[in-house]
Amino acid sequence: MTTTDLTSAGLASRDILPRPNAAETPALSIGSVSHSYGDRNALIDVNFSVAPASFTALLGLNGAGKSTLFSLVTRLFAIQSGRISIFGHEIRLAPGEALRLLGVVFQPRTLDLDLSVRQNLLYHAALHGIGRHEAGVRSDEILTRIGLAERTGSKVRDLSGGQMRRLEIARALLHRPRLLLLDEATVGLDVQARADILDHVRKLVTEQGIGVLWATHLFDEIVPSDDLVVLHQGRVLARGQVAQVIADAGAQEINSAFMRLTGAACSGSLPP
């Protein structure tokens, strides 16, 4: 379905979610979610979904509401209004079932610096009810895959920033989730480490069929085949495949499309 088709069907082109199988249960479904801190609105009627085995970039400036959204999806904050489901399990009604299918990498480091690489993984596995033996096997396997097999006994505080991030991703995958959330996972890393992590996460989508929601404010982390959600001042300004969002914004590339969208939002020419 093209943008023209949608427009003629009376739909705003930025409201499309062009996935091949519309009947598929979304990996993540965010429906009419709003959240406020006192009288400050952090999220306003946010709607979008992430398909299984897809890479969705959540693009927004600092203060857009990305971390608030992540805190709601992970049930760190209570949902004030709207619905959030993971593979059909509503987070408010069946948090255990939903969180079982979810792996998360938060923006701040959440590793235990005083424990070793392996101990961090074993602790995470225990929190998911995975027995010691199975956890050991999975840890060895995943540490080999991310190139940290030789650092298994090292204290986490001795790792580099890039290694810590890779370990956090490995930890998030240990219980074999079907959906992975990453909140600004490459912040503070050098160019090579960023590229490695992004490449690793994209492989998870293609090779393991994991749905990924990648929150970022960096345009160069997004490629045309990705799905994109543009979040600005708590509102979703656009969503769809990257190429389509760019075309709809009348731009040539993602950064100018983003500037046009957010500029239009600030000047009030976009509907609330």
Partner 1 sequence: MSSSTVPRNQGGFSVAEYVICLNGIVWREALRFLHQRERFVSALVRPLVWLFIFAAGFRQVLGISIIPPYETYILYEVYIAPGLIAMIQLFNGMQSSLSMVYDREMGNMRTLLVSPLPRGYLLFCKLVAGTAVSLLQVYAFLLIAWFWDIAPPSIGYLTVLPALILSGLMLGSLGMLISSGIKQLENFAGVMNFVIFPMFFASSALYTLWRVQEGSPLLYYVCLFNPFTHAVELIRFALYGQINWISLGVVSGCATVFMIGAIWAYDPSHGLIRRRPAGGET
Q: Provide the mask over 211-250, with x wherever binding to partner 1 is found by CB under 8 A and - wherever it is not.
A: ----------------------------------------
Out of 41, 47, 107, 154, the residue judged to bind partner 1 by CB under 8 A: 107
Smallest gap from Cβ 37 to partner 1, in A, equals: 5
The residue (of 10 and 108) whose beta carbon lies closer to partner 1 is 108
User: Is there binding between residue 77 and partner 1 (CB under 8 A)?
Assistant: yes
SS3 for the chain is CCHHHHHHCCCCCCECCCCCCCCCCCCEEEEEEEEEECCEEEEEEEEEEECCCCEEEEECCCCCCHHHHHHHHCCCCCCCEEEEEECCEECCCCHHHHHHCEEEECCCCCCCCCCEHHHHHHHHHHHCCCCHHHHHHHHHHHHHHCCCHHHCCCEHHHCCHHHHHHHHHHHHHCCCCCEEEEECCCCCCCHHHHHHHHHHHHHHHHHHCCEEEEEECCHHHCCCCCEEEEEECCEEEEEEEHHHHHHHCCCCCHHHHHHHHHHHHHHCCCCC
Helix axes 117-127, 132-145, angle to 10 degrees: 130
The residue (of 131 and 224) whose beta carbon lies closer to partner 1 is 131
The pair of structure tokens assigned to 219 is 């345009």
Window of 82-90, 194-202, 241-249, 255-263 that interacts with partner 1 by CB under 8 A? 82-90
Window of 6-14, 108-116, 158-166, 249-257 that interacts with partner 1 by CB under 8 A? 108-116
Q: Provide the mask over 154-193, with x wherever binding to partner 1 is found by CB under 8 A and - wherever it is not.
A: ------------------------x----x----------
- By CB under 8 A, the count of residues binding partner 1 is 56
User: Is there binding between residue 108 and partner 1 (CB under 8 A)?
Assistant: yes
User: Is there binding between residue 266 and partner 1 (CB under 8 A)?
Assistant: no
User: Is there binding between residue 78 and partner 1 (CB under 8 A)?
Assistant: yes
Window of 98-106, 144-152, 252-260, 261-269 that interacts with partner 1 by CB under 8 A? 98-106
Binding site for partner 1 (CB under 8 A): 24-25, 37, 52-53, 60-68, 71, 74-78, 87-89, 95-102, 104, 106-112, 114-115, 119, 122-132, 178, 183, 209
